[in-house]
Structure 1
């Protein structure tokens, strides 16, 4: 844990740290950019409850009032959801938001940075960013991938968001030396779908095994984090073949409307929500909850 005056731990998180209890970091783009109101608040609170039920303490992270807030109350989550012009923060602009007092929701990269500052080793999210389609000409590659290579936080997700170029994302992670472990199956999941058509580089079948792997990396002094790909429950998935058509149409619409940079993912997610008549949101909520449960189990095993 590094010393900085920009970091504020909630009473619950501070007490858990002092007692050596397991803690799970949670991001807030799900509240400000990823889901509509009121599902965003309901999901954020439900995820926190799942973490607690699994024996860990939730630490939802956001930038508010010029500080990195690690652990938000229900009232603070409501306030964040109601703020205007909330920045979607990554490594490049985290310090900007703090220095200017702008409110910000944390992406995977920014949440990892904040979690590391707070000494939190495990983070649950929906899906990571990655290599965008057409990146060979646009060079649009998420900072999440480089953050995984440099910051020692285990990220539990349902895979890279399926609107990305998953094969290229996996290739970049391999190049950067980031371990990709799929929980309980041999095939890498694809966010809304359990199958991506790609074999997972590594497989482990228990939270304790994942914790032991993380501990062994620490022992060896290996830098960076671990990506844990946790397939969405079978009852909640949208099959990959069906999902592919929705994604293709949403990307076509984004190109037509000249959507660029950080605006692409929220736009495409919104179009997919419309095209699936709300099913993608139901699946998204289910996979986030599933990831929170596994993350809490891993954090408890590490503690």
Structure 2
């Protein structure tokens, strides 16, 4: 997100977590140090930093060893959370299987991390630019429970529904906490994915989003965008095509996910 909206959103998200009775711990790599919980000045420094790495499992240690500043992906944030004993974290959308992955083999490390690291991830589904059906298939293969919060339909990030059924449904934070407690009692490894649909007032029609995605994908191919650069490019392009509506929806869904994650964290302590 562009400055200063990114800073305002980070501050608001932390305030929401506190309102719900939980303790916020924003995760990032700052000057080669993995930070789990940032002071206000550090949030500002991160929001205004240049040349920030996109850090996942493969390069988290590299960022530490070389003194870099990095924004952590879902995978890297799960690693950091587990190290700190944090069992729940909120994000916007997870990475997953990219469209055309049958030839590009472009699959996010987020899915592998969900299969191995015991953290509940609250999101608005996988990013809508991905192949959502293949993403669900990979999560199922890896034994990752995918829960729809109050919904039978898999959310599609900016849209409330992807048209795909969500494998499991729970309707309260207490139920989600209880599900995780049962998994713990059985010694089942790995994380849980909780998908939280955006409210109707903030959501964008799926057909409209699909049109933006098709144009953004064509633009990425024309410009030869590959690897880690694909997702940031597509999100930036969709921001332009949507006239900024995608950013407003993105902020709303992150705030909603933070609120639900905080409630789950509190329920787990109860």
TM-score per shorter chain, which class? over 0.9
- Residue 189 of structure 2 is matched in structure 1 by 223
Report deviation, 1:85.
1.5
**C-alpha contact 2:117 2:190 (8 A) present in aligned 1:** yes
- Where structure 1 has 5 or more consecutive residues not aligned to the other structure, the ranges are 1-34
Matched, 1:187 2:180: no
- Residue 60 of structure 1 is matched in structure 2 by 26
Report deviation, 1:242.
1.2
**C-alpha contact 2:158 2:198 (8 A) present in aligned 1:** yes
Moved over 2 A (4+): 81-84
Q: How does 1:274-289 map to 2 (within 5 A)?
A: 274-289=240-255
- Residue 257 of structure 1 is matched in structure 2 by 223
- Residue 88 of structure 2 is matched in structure 1 by 122
- Residue 174 of structure 1 is matched in structure 2 by 140
Rounded Cα–Cα distance in structure 2 between residues aligned with 1:181 and 1:273: 28
- Residue 214 of structure 1 is matched in structure 2 by 180
- Where structure 2 has 5 or more consecutive residues not aligned to the other structure, the ranges are none
Q: How does 1:50-129 map to 2 (within 5 A)?
A: 50-129=16-95
- Residue 115 of structure 2 is matched in structure 1 by 149
Q: Deviations for 1:174-200, whole angstroms, at most 9, x for unmatched residues? A: 000000000001111000000101000
CA RMSD of aligned residues (A): 0.6
Q: Deviations for 1:85-143, whole angstroms, at most 9, x for unmatched residues? A: 21110000000111111111101000000000000000100000000000001000000
Matched, 1:291 2:257: yes
Among 191, 196, 218, the residue aligned to 2:162: 196
Which TM-score applies when normalising by structure 2?
A: 0.99
Q: Deviations for 1:214-238, whole angstroms, at most 9, x for unmatched residues? A: 1100000000000000000111000
**C-alpha contact 2:3 2:48 (8 A) present in aligned 1:** no
Rounded Cα–Cα distance in structure 1 between residues aligned with 2:240 and 2:65: 37
Report deviation, 1:66.
2.0
SS class of match (2:169): strand
Report deviation, 1:83.
2.2
Report deviation, 1:84.
2.2
Count of matched residue pairs: 269
Report deviation, 1:78.
1.2
Q: Deviations for 1:40-97, whole angstroms, at most 9, x for unmatched residues? A: 1100110000000011010001111321111112211111122222111000000011
Rounded Cα–Cα distance in structure 2 between residues aligned with 1:60 and 1:105: 10
Among 241, 259, 263, the residue aligned to 2:207: 241
- Residue 10 of structure 1 is matched in structure 2 by none
